[in-house]
A and B are shown apart, each in its own frame.
Chain A
Amino acid sequence: MKFRQAFYEEPLLFEMPSEAAEPIDLDGLVPPAMQRDRLNLPNLPEHEVVRHYTRLSQMNFSIDTGFYPLGSCTMKFNPKYAEELASLPTVTRVHPDQDEATIQGALRLMYELQSSLAVIAGMDAVTLQPAAGAQGEFTGLLLAQAFNHDRGEHRNEVIVPDTAHGTNFASAGMAGFDIVEIPSLDGRVDLNALRNAVSDKTLAFMITNPNTLGIFEDHITEAADIVHQDGGLLYYDGANLNAIMGKTSPGLMNFDIVHFNLHKTFTTPHGGGGPGAGPVGVKKPLEPFLPVPVVTYDGATYHLDYHRPKSIGMVRAWYGNFALLVRAYAYILRQGGDGLTRASERAVLNANYVRQRIQGTYDVPFSGLRKHEFVASGAKLMAKGVKTTDVAKRLMDYGYHPPTVYFPHLVEEALMIEPTETESRATLDAFSDALLQIAKEDPALLHSAPHNTAVARVDEVGAARDPVLSWRYLMAQPKF
């Protein structure tokens, strides 16, 4: 595919010609000692502002402009009907402190979404409160701890496999737990290592299935037994749920706690970094500990139940990222049970297809099927001095967003590829061809890539040396 990204030499908003500051009379309103005399922000005509951000938007790659096979991020097409629904005033202009009688629609939607997510994951109860996947993990661990305290146990270890997402470690660390990392065996959890790691100190074992290599952990019920025998809980990192809908569920695999990434599996747009939504599902014994308020239904009216004496309290203000809950709810309605199952089927088909297309030129460590994603290695290209970074940068010249790179760590020069179900065979073929072509290209061309993007290769090391994070700080520098 021919690709040339738009480029504007776009000034910073602060560099644009600004109209003068108007005086404002704050006397009698703000005490003199607290009055602000000056606010250094520009005053610009609206059309200049709109042009500025429109031009910037054109220098940004997105799903709507091209293929985005970013591993573990599930960049599927974001349907437009969901955007339309989320912009209704019955979503945008409803205050969370409104009287229950005036928010029955919102509460009903939340209640029904909780039920659908519980069915998909095989869980008994769901909270929609967490703002993102990592916050879902954190919430899940708080729930595990509260459950243990309630039964008079104090456990402080969280077991995590070496293939886990970085957030698993960070969430456990943030919640104050000690982390026990266990190695993989042939791309799967080593059950013996798990047996050795589990003890009466084990709070939980956090795992995603399929794992980050895209491999289904087929010994998962044995792993669950090992953890449960010693009184630990099994935590499902839902980042990879897009692989298994309608085929199995965390509940069937004996998980106790699950988080969902609505911005992955249920295709709420990722917004260039957020917002997301990270609901958490649990089995019955953990239900009393869920964050307040819990949405309940008495057969006639929906309620926000704050009277939950065992609840962990709240993990963020109010009830969750509601505008995203609306989108996910609409998506689930649209797909239905059959459509969600087909989404997983095609996601898995697409991943295995691309893997098969590029295998040989790129190593794909570990045999067997993959689920929704796979991890290739660029190690072979190292012989001619080409790194995975170079392959990634060169892919942009072909009009593709690069895969996730250098993760998971146990694959050398890793390229983690997740095509998702919404891509056509033609796109998958063209992308595979590009990867094969790049492997044949002159290393010099790769080292200097990308060539067709708004800017050339960016000096990320330089940015971190003396970080300039604001106009204000930049202006204070002597060199300026």
Chain B
Amino acid sequence: MQVGRPRMASDDADMLRSMGLRSIDDLFSDIPPSVRMKSLALPPGLAEQEVVAQVTEMLSANRTMADMPTFLGAGLYDHFVPAAVRAITSRAEFYTAYTPYQPEVSQGMLQTLWEYQSMICEITGMDAANTSMYDASTALGEAARMARRIHGGKIFLVPRALRWHRRSVLQNYTWGGGLLIKEVEYDRETGMLDLADLKKHLTEDVCGVYVENPNFFGRLEEQLADIRAATDAPLVVGINPLAQTILKKPADFGADIVLGEGQALGNAVNFGGPLLGIFACRQEHVRKMPGRVIGLTKDAEGHRAFCMTLQTREQHIRREKAMSNICTNESLMAVASATYVAVLGANGLRRVAADSMRKARDLAAAIRAIPGYEAPIFKGPHFNEFTLRHEDGYAPVHKALLAKGIHGGTPHARHLKELGDYALFAVTERHTQEDLDRLLDVLRSVA
């Protein structure tokens, strides 16, 4: 039966009659004729079988990362996701629920999201996390606004080496509040933040400093302690949560707010969405934090229970004074991440992180050995991606790879103009030796 089609015409007729109405049209008599539509100009509905066939066929024009070894990353990574994760997120009790407004019937989702918050706090070392922002870029926009609420000031500093969409989203999230975004240069040798340039930008008016580890180039940011020491404005650290399982916690460097893209933790790449914006902070700042949070409490009988809390920060109570307008978020992605973290455990997560990092390092070394290539461009440790350059530019390399059924990395052109010839290559534990060998073969053929 088609969803929405009346099951029994006689039911509808009875229901109408009980209200003293004769036809469905009577229910719409309050819509003035001047704005009435005769009918919706879309084709008639299809049988389920036809829909499935048609959409499957349309999507088959996509080539997937399963069809071709792919070295794209730039924030989204194709890590292997154990089947248990999808088994849990496919529980209709989770995915067909609304926001847990009524805690008594929603303890399952509430506890799961509280555990997710707890996992993010363990990974980052922060005291509190929300249940999600839309993605890392909107988390950054929200963090800038929050930094200003904490500290005052109207300048928010970000690395100039930043994914351009993050920069663009940040701009859109902050111009309304009159925040000024200023960019700090990167060191041309190491790719890390240029500390001297940062110090030049640190004026009274700075409300927060954003830095990423690993950064845009995949390079570890080794100067977090120095950056922290340089300012008393809130320090906002952007992380890759998987990398963070083997790297020292942002809290150890004095971070005030930690954000990141949570997709790598058990979520599919999904052509860019839905994603998972990680957002965490110190306890002293929780009342200034955007987004939904789950708190621990008791029920009327004294048993442990969970509920949404600090709702007075949110739009439905505080309206235009709310910390953010967010209401629908990415909760199911948080459930996936919680399940992924639980299934892999600390041991599994650290293994995946180290494997990915080691594979990327070894691949960069192998590419560097091919004449005509430079990889990584920047000296020092990288997590699971690195910049690559070919003496004739990246375009011919990209083309040659595609022709051989391999997808290369993300070109830098849109992100940083002066690095237009560079590309960012990402590796995960999922790449096989055969994938890497095929890549190297084609790279050699271009050289």
Contacts and interface: CB of A to CB of B under 8 A. Distances in A.
A298 interface: no
B436 interface: no
B137 interface: yes
Given A175-B176, A323-B268, A467 B295 contact: yes
A77 B5 CA distance: 12
B27 to A, nearest CB: 5
A333 B46 contact: yes
Interface in B296-354: 296-301, 303, 305-312, 314-322, 324-333, 335, 338-339, 341-343, 345-351, 354
A95 B65 contact: yes
A448 B128 CA distance: 32
A247 B132 CA distance: 37
B402 A99 contact: yes
Interface stretch (B89-97, B199-207, B227-235, B367-375): B89-97
B371 to A, nearest CB: 26
Interface string A69-100: 01001011111010111011111111111110
Given A91-B59, A106-B271, A473-B127, A36 B103 contact: no
A333 B54 contact: yes
A12 interface: yes
Interface in A19-36: 19, 21-22, 24, 26, 29-31, 33-36
Nearest to A77: B3
Given A317-B135, A469-B294, A368 B30 contact: yes
B75 interface: yes
B343 A49 contact: yes
Nearest to B86: A87
> Which bracket fits the contact residues of A?
35 or more
Interface string B165-202: 11011011101111000000000000000000000000
Contacts of B397: none
B328 A274 contact: yes
Contacts of B43: 336-337
Nearest to B131: A273
B99 A216 contact: no
Given A22-B347, A342-B5, A454-B107, A134 B407 contact: no
B153 interface: no
A329 B2 CA distance: 15
Given A31-B381, A42-B346, A271-B331, A88 B59 contact: yes
Interface string B24-41: 100111111011110111
Contact of A57 (B24, B82, B93, B347): B93
Interface in A203-225: 215-216, 218, 220-221
Given A60-B105, A396-B102, A98 B342 contact: no
Contacts of B12: 346, 349
30 contacts: A39-B350, A57-B108, A60-B97, A90-B56, A91-B62, A94-B62, A95-B65, A96-B76, A170-B324, A216-B30, A220-B35, A247-B36, A252-B36, A269-B95, A271-B330, A272-B94, A272-B97, A272-B332, A314-B137, A316-B273, A317-B165, A318-B272, A319-B272, A330-B55, A342-B5, A345-B24, A425-B14, A455-B107, A459-B297, A467-B309
B293 interface: yes
Interface in A433-480: 448, 450, 453-460, 462-464, 467-474, 476
A464 B309 contact: yes
Nearest to B221: A34
A333 B224 CA distance: 52
Contact of B72 (A18, A54, A87, A98): A98
Interface stretch (A135-143, A226-234, A375-383): A135-143
A17 interface: no
A456 B247 contact: no
B95 A272 contact: yes
A276 B104 CA distance: 24
Given A89-B66, A132-B328, A244-B31, A450 B343 contact: no
Given A90-B59, A173-B319, A267 B3 contact: yes
A119 B273 contact: no
Interface string A36-78: 1001111110100110111111111111110010100101111
Given A312-B172, A346-B4, A457-B104, A464 B315 contact: no
A33 B134 CA distance: 32
A315 B286 contact: no
Contacts of B82: 46
A246 B39 CA distance: 5
Contacts of A216: 30-31
B21 to A, nearest CB: 8
A350 to B, nearest CB: 8
B273 A318 contact: yes
A364 B304 CA distance: 38
B108 A59 contact: yes
B297 A336 contact: no
A209 B435 CA distance: 54
Given A12-B115, A62-B93, A334 B270 contact: no
Contacts of B320: 169-170, 172-173, 179
Contacts of A174: 145, 173, 176-177, 322, 324-325
Interface in B66-110: 66, 68, 70, 72, 74-76, 78, 82, 84, 86-88, 90-109
B22 to A, nearest CB: 13
B171 A313 contact: yes
B74 A334 contact: no
B242 to A, nearest CB: 11
B136 interface: yes
Nearest to A421: B4
A323 B40 contact: no
A176 B59 contact: no
A356 B94 contact: no
Given A169-B319, A425-B15, A316 B134 contact: yes
- 8 A-B pairs closest in CB distance: A176-B176, A318-B272, A271-B332, A173-B320, A336-B45, A96-B272, A273-B331, A60-B108
Nearest to A345: B24
B18 interface: yes
Contact of A322 (B19, B93, B123, B271): B271
Interface string A331-373: 1111111111111011011001100100000000000110000
A14 B118 CA distance: 9
Interface string A253-267: 100000001010001
A464 B307 CA distance: 10
A90 B61 CA distance: 8
